[in-house]
């Protein structure tokens, strides 16, 4: 099947001249890349929450060990992706995040956002044994001794597994649509800026041709390439890669 030519803009940006416009394009490309990648995190977090809600929708329903593992993994992943997209910093070549505009958030929305970021920082990415969600310690490890029939004290330990928390899911469900809308708008604006600067930067056709690539080889199948072409003009498109 014949496709229009595809060129790698991030690779091309390394060949740009030091004119003001071309230097500006390089920066704009990185900004658009960051926004699109953060948007992908948020959309994936939203997918996790939808699957999680389908499992835990019945209040009080008991779950077996296998289902409990899925529940805990989905919630942890959703929180980590949300924080990675909206709060975490980036050093060196790391991507970083798109910080939400807290001026437009209500007090309740700020509380939800800050609670999720605190959960990521204090309980998931690191372990602060004093971190609480509500009145419950997230990480609670008990070291104790039990006296046996012979009068000896035997040491033992027990820990909770507070990696599923209904209120955390509810917080995610409230703030993710806001974050997705905000970052999606950022991406659209930045991609439009790339388009405008490209039109003014005076890049030789030979430079575009130098970084052509086979879209089927890069994206994995003709179906995905067709999907990508049909979605041009939208904010983002995602596809599953089987490795």
* Three-class secondary structure of residue 235 per DSSP: coil
pLDDT at 58 over 70: yes
* Three-class secondary structure of residue 153 per DSSP: strand
What pLDDT digit, counting tens, does each position of 81-120 carry? 999 999 987 777 778 899 998 888 999 999 999 999 999 9
Rounded Cα–Cα distance for residues 234 and 188 (Å): 8
pLDDT at 53 over 90: yes
What pLDDT digit, counting tens, does each position of 192-221 carry? 999 999 988 888 899 999 999 999 998 888
Q: Are 186 and 236 in contact (CB under 8 A)?
A: no
pLDDT at 236 over 70: no
Work out the average pLDDT over 121-138.
86
Most confident of 51-60, 165-174, 231-240: 165-174
Read off φ and ψ for residue 148, nearest 5 degrees: -95, 180
H runs (alpha helix) in 57-165: 65-86, 107-119
């Amino acid at each position: 099947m014949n496709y229009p030519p595809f060129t790698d803009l991030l690779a091309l940006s390394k060949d740009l001249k030091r004119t003001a416009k071309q230097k500006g394009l390089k920066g704009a490309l990185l900004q658009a890349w960051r926004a699109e990648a953060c948007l992908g995190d948020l959309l994936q977090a939203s997918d996790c929450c939808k699957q999680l809600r389908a499992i835990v929708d019945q209040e009080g329903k008991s779950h077996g060990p296998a289902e409990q593992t899925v529940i805990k993994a989905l919630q942890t992943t959703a929180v980590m992706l949300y924080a990675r997209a909206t709060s975490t910093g980036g050093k060196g070549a790391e991507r970083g995040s798109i910080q939400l505009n807290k001026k437009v958030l209500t007090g309740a929305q700020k509380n939800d956002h800050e609670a999720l970021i605190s959960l990521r920082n204090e309980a998931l990415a690191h372990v602060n044994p004093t971190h609480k969600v509500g009145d419950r310690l997230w990480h609670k490890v008990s070291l104790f001794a039990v006296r046996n029939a012979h009068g000896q004290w035997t040491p033992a330990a027990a820990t909770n597994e507070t990696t599923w928390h209904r209120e955390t899911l509810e917080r995610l469900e409230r703030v993710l649509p806001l974050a997705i809308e905000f970052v999606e708008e950022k991406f659209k604006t930045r991609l439009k800026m790339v388009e405008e600067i490209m039109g003014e930067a005076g890049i030789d056709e030979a430079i575009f041709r130098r970084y052509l690539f086979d879209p089927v080889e890069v994206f994995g199948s003709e179906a995905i390439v067709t999907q990508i072409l049909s979605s041009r003009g939208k904010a983002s498109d995602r596809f599953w890669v089987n490795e």
